[in-house]
């Protein structure tokens, strides 16, 4: 008789409380499940124009060298980004997406006595970071879909260690401005680090928009996060980085894995930084798309939050789940607001003119507008 070898694994309580990340539904899965030949994905805030031709060529050329481990320090990429931002290379730490930089920052700076302060709803990985490191998570509800920095300041304690602000915020597209941010910063204890997640910074055109670079130059405890996944269209190769004072960046460098950024990502990143024309086109496409979506939502009587990013947060006035399913049947993948606690909202990535048209036509049909 065969022995029963079923075993049980013990998992710590805080790990069990984690919910695996739910990505936007992949295009191929929707095609397969619904028998569709063409599907438009506007669910993950990717660049609808794709990567720049120069980045694709750089990946092609680098592909022949993937039997070798990557350059562990991202030497050439580091120099390129440092020149691009006008800072020192020692102020940077690269990651397998900025997701990884969030993870590394948690490992480097959090201990179980610490508090992590952020807003809600916002990017889900801040919560994961707090839970993984057994910290108390303090989530302050947004006001008008915007980080409520005054209410957040009131929740600061001497245990506050990391403060996460997505600027622009995901999923709402709103920004916080210089004066209110500085008021919050001035109330932080010395040991706290403000993490300014600037994944969508390149899309912002607002005179009051603060960037982490300004504060890092002043010597503040600020960690800026940037990514190549959005305006540079490289979400699939995974590349992001943190910017900070050299002493803060050095701690991230101590913690990160030795070869965390692939050969392909490093090559693509350098080429993307030189692809000014592609960035300009991407911005222009986004601006035109935002205007088109805003006009259409107005006509449909739907309330959309003013966005500073490459997606819109719109109240469709009815429960979002059934609408999501109906949109899927019409070959359009969106992101539902319910995962962010907003049952009648959708987050819609700004696409090309054609993609936006397809999305709007389907939405009009589904909502009967
Ligand atoms: C606010 C925010 N931060 C970070 C990320 C992750 O970016 P990356 O692809 O660099 O891991 C995203 C991705 O959607 C995001 O919205």
Instruction: Answer yes or no: is the C-beta of 172 below 6 A from any ligand 1 atom.
Output: no
Digitized pLDDT (tens) for each residue of the chain, 369 residues in all = 567 778 888 999 999 989 888 887 889 999 999 999 999 999 999 999 999 999 999 999 999 999 999 999 999 999 999 999 999 999 999 999 999 999 999 999 999 999 999 999 999 999 999 999 999 999 999 999 999 999 999 999 999 999 999 999 999 999 999 999 999 999 999 999 999 999 999 999 999 999 999 999 999 999 999 999 999 999 999 999 999 999 999 999 999 999 999 999 999 999 999 999 999 999 999 999 999 999 999 999 999 999 999 999 999 999 999 999 999 999 999 999 999 999 999 999 999 999 999 999 999 999 999
Using the 3D structure, point to which of 273, 302, 319 is the last residue of a domain. Answer: 273
Query: What is the extent of the structural domain holding 88?
Result: 53-273
Q: Give the pLDDT score at 1.
A: 55
Cβ-based neighbours of 225, under 8 Å, separated by 6 or more:
98, 101, 102, 195, 196, 197, 198, 199, 212, 240, 241, 242, 243
The sign of the torsion formed by the CA atoms of 332, 333, 335, 339 equals positive
Residue 355 lies in a domain: yes
| Same domain, residue pair 260 and 282 | no
Between the CA of 8 and the centroid of ligand 1 the distance, in Å, is 35
The pTM of this model reads 0.96
Domain-embedded: residue 258: yes
Q: Note the pLDDT of residue 353.
A: 98
Q: What is the model's pLDDT at position 6? A: 80
Q: Which of 273, 297, 328 is the last residue of a domain?
A: 273
Q: Which atom of ligand 1 is nearest to the CA of 227?
A: 10
- Looking at the structure, tell me whether residues 130 and 91 fall in a common domain: yes
In a domain, 2, yes or no: no
Q: Answer whether residue 348 is part of any domain.
A: yes
The residues, ordered by sequence, that sit 6+ positions from 191 with a Cβ below 8 Å of its Cβ are: 161
- Number of domains forming the structure of the chain: 2
pLDDT at 2: 63
CATH code assigned at 83: 3.40.640.10
For residues 269 and 290, state if they share a domain: no
Closest approach atom of ligand 1 to CA 239: 10
Query: Two tokens at 98?
Result: 């900025």
**Domain boundary residue, one of 273, 301, 328:** 273
Is residue 47 in some structural domain?
Answer: no
C-alpha 225 to ligand 1 mean position (Å): 9
Look-up of token digits 């993307």: 272
109 with 237, same domain?
Answer: yes
Site to probe by mutation for ligand 1, drawn from 103, 227, 347 as the one with most ligand atoms within 8 Å of Cβ, is: 227
């Amino acid at each position: 008789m065969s022995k029963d070898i079923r075993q049980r694994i013990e998992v710590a309580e805080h790990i069990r409380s984690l919910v695996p990340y739910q990505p936007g539904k992949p295009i191929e899965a929707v095609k397969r499940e619904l028998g569709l030949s063409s599907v438009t994905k506007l669910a993950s805030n990717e660049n609808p124009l794709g990567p720049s031709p120069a980045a694709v060529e750089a990946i092609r050329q680098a592909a022949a060298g993937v039997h070798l481990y990557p350059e562990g320090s991202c030497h050439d990429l580091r120099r390129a980004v440092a020149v691009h931002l006008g800072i020192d290379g020692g102020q940077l730490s690269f990651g397998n997406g900025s997701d990884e930089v969030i993870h590394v920052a948690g490992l480097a700076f959090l201990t179980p006595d610490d508090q992590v302060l952020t807003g809600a709803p916002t990017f889900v990985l801040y919560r994961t970071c707090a839970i993984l490191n057994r910290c108390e998570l303090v989530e302050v509800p947004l006001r008008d879909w915007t980080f409520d920095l005054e209410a957040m300041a009131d929740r600061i304690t001497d245990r506050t260690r990391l403060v996460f602000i997505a600027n622009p915020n995901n999923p709402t597209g709103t920004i916080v401005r210089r004066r209110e941010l500085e008021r919050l910063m001035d109330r932080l204890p010395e040991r706290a680090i403000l993490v300014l997640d600037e994944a969508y910074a390149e899309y912002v055109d607002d005179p009051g928009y603060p960037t982490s670079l300004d504060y890092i130059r002043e010597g503040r405890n600020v960690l800026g996060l940037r990514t190549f996944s959005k305006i540079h269209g490289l979400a699939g190769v995974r590349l992001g980085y943190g910017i900070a004072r050299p002493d803060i960046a050095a701690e991230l460098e101590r913690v990160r894995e030795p070869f965390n950024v692939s050969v392909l990502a490093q090559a693509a990143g350098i080429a993307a930084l030189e692809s000014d024309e592609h960035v300009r086109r991407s911005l222009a496409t986004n601006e035109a798309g935002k205007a088109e979506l805003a006009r259409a939502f107005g006509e449909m009587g739907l309330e959309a939050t003013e966005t500073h990013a490459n997606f819109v947060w719109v109240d469709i006035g009815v429960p979002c789940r059934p609408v999501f399913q109906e949109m899927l049947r019409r070959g359009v993948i969106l992101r539902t607001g319910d995962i962010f606690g907003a049952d009648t909202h959708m987050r819609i990535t700004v696409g090309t003119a054609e993609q936006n048209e397809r999305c709007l036509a389907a939405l009009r049909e589904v909502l009967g507008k």
